[in-house]
Structure 1
Amino acid sequence: MPTADTALPRFHQLRLILRERLKTGVYPQGLPLPGERLLAEEFGVARVTVRSALARLEEEGLVLRLRGKGTLPAAQAELPPHLKLRGGLLDNIVTMGLRTRVTVLERRLIAAPSHAAEALQLAPGTRVLKVVRVRRFKGQPIAYTEVFLPQDLAPAVEKTVLQEMPMLVALERHGVRVVSADQTLGAALADLHVAEALRVAAGVPLLRVSRVAVDDQGRPVQFLTGLYHPERYEYHMQLSRVGDATKVWIENDRPPEAAG
């Protein structure tokens, strides 16, 4: 096991190790994993830690826990490790939106926080629309996003519309033509609210994306901050001297059995 000073809880460390063993075939199909006691002894943790790790793997659909038979690797189809979305970056964002499902957690008009006002080039305190969403791929949460838009664009992104189409498509149908975006990648730690939405432990490192979309008139029309699941989302870019399309990849991960 990693050293105790890591930011990840021990059950999550163990989950990651067991997850890797399952994916690489260390635990073969049809045979049970070692029991809780043996795993606890191997990794020097309490049985309750092992139990928590196995419960999370079961939620992911990676194992089946059967009474009297132990914990078995779940049968999974051989799929490519990532779903490749082709085209330019903005096209990829739209395509990803079409291939995923979104739940709107919050949609309301508020006085713009200072960082949102600055990004949208508005006066501090100007009314803006705030939208918070969780995006899922095959039942699994992959992203938690907080978006701010100028107030006049609110009619374009009603809650029912956002659950049916990507926000950029909704804006385009409203007559807004997004032609460019300024984007920054970084890292953040999952707070309790985000951790619950993404089904990760609090404090887990997440990919953080900040993006300001600009229309064909040079007006900032969308300020987005996205926090992405560390194991289900990968950002892949191809670089060359002459430039090339930026790619977005989503990990193909089996949803939990209970997911709809």
Structure 2
Amino acid sequence: MKLLNSDIAIPLYQQLYDLLLDQIRSGVYPPGSKIPSEEELCKTYDLSRVTVRNALGRLVDDNILVKRHGKGTFVATPVFTESAYANGSFTKSCEQMGATPSTQVVSRKQVKAGKALSKQLQLEEGAKAICIKRLRCINGVAAILEVDYFNGDMDFMMEADVETRPILDVIRENSGLAGRQYIDTFEVHFANREQAGCLKCPANTPLLKVSQVVLNEMRGVLYYNEQYIRSDIYKYVMGS
């Protein structure tokens, strides 16, 4: 533990500010995590409550910490706004923002298309489809749970690398088809248990749900996806 020094010219509240900021930047307290309470900080560093409150108040004013009534003080989660010049690519958008994107496959399986899905994919009800769930992260923070649905004939999607490669590239290389048009529908969706668990948020948290139909050159459906977005982390942008 780094001790604070009352014998130097730097005020104790500033020393605590600098110490907590260093711990946040080094990952001791990652975005969204709870920091020790005022009482704990007072005991740990032998400080008065006034000094601790002063340091925490300045961190809140600088948007580094955020107070949640009745819950404590948390490290603020950075907000990223999608680039309008990334052509809908999450990876390209993150790179243009100077952030590090990552993708994790949550599940991959064959399903039977129900009434709603068969309509989106232009299949007969009960036909075979492929469902891939992926978690999209920015600087290691979960931002989007994406659920992609494909025609069952796209068997290559069951083995394809969709963690490091864009889905459209995988489809084009294996089928010769390319995405040419996107039809988006937006609505507010309240996170269920699975979505909340993946996105590290409480159940019933309001999410932005984007339902997207991707069409090929012949205006046939290439694939369909649903994106459940933590809009407190990632701002979705539409270009004209």
Question: What is the TM-score when the length of structure 2 is the normalising length?
Answer: 0.65
Q: 1:165 to 1:95 in 2, by over 3 A?
A: same
Aligned residue for 1:171? 171
Given that 1:210 and 1:224 are in contact with CA atoms closer than 8 Å, whether structure 2 keeps it comes out as yes
1:230 to partner: Cα distance: 2.7
Given that 1:147 and 1:224 are in contact with CA atoms closer than 8 Å, whether structure 2 keeps it comes out as yes
Aligned residue for 1:117? 118
Q: Unaligned stretches of 5+ in structure 1?
A: 1-27, 33-57, 238-244, 247-260
Aligned residue for 1:68? 44
Runs of 4+ in 1 over 4 A off after TM superposition: 28-32, 61-64, 70-76
- Give the aligned length: 183
Residue 209 (1) aligns with residue 206 (2): no
Question: What is the TM-score when the length of structure 1 is the normalising length?
Answer: 0.61
Given that 2:109 and 2:158 are in contact with CA atoms closer than 8 Å, whether structure 1 keeps it comes out as no
Secondary structure at 2:92's aligned position in 1? Answer: helix
Q: 1:29 to 1:105 in 2, by over 3 A?
A: farther
Secondary structure at 1:115's aligned position in 2? Answer: helix
Q: 1:150 to 1:31 in 2, by over 3 A?
A: same
Given that 1:111 and 1:128 are in contact with CA atoms closer than 8 Å, whether structure 2 keeps it comes out as yes
- CA distance in structure 1 between the partners assigned to 2:143 and 2:151 by the alignment: 26
Structure with the greater relative contact order (CA < 8 A, sep ≥ 6): 1 or 2? Answer: 1
Q: Unaligned stretches of 5+ in structure 2?
A: 1-12, 18-28, 46-51, 65-77
1:98-247 equivalent positions in 2, closer than 5 A = 100-155=101-156, 157-159=157-159, 161-174=161-174, 175-237=176-238, 245-246=239-240
1:87 to partner: Cα distance: 2.2
1:106 to partner: Cα distance: 1.0
- CA distance in structure 1 between the partners assigned to 2:147 and 2:79 by the alignment: 28
- CA distance in structure 2 between the partners assigned to 1:127 and 1:180 by the alignment: 24
Question: What is the CA RMSD across the aligned residues, in angstroms?
Answer: 3.1
Post-superposition Cα deviations, 1:52-78, rounded to whole Å, max 9, x if no partner, equal xxxxxx4526765366137965997xx
Pick the structure with greater CA Rg: 2
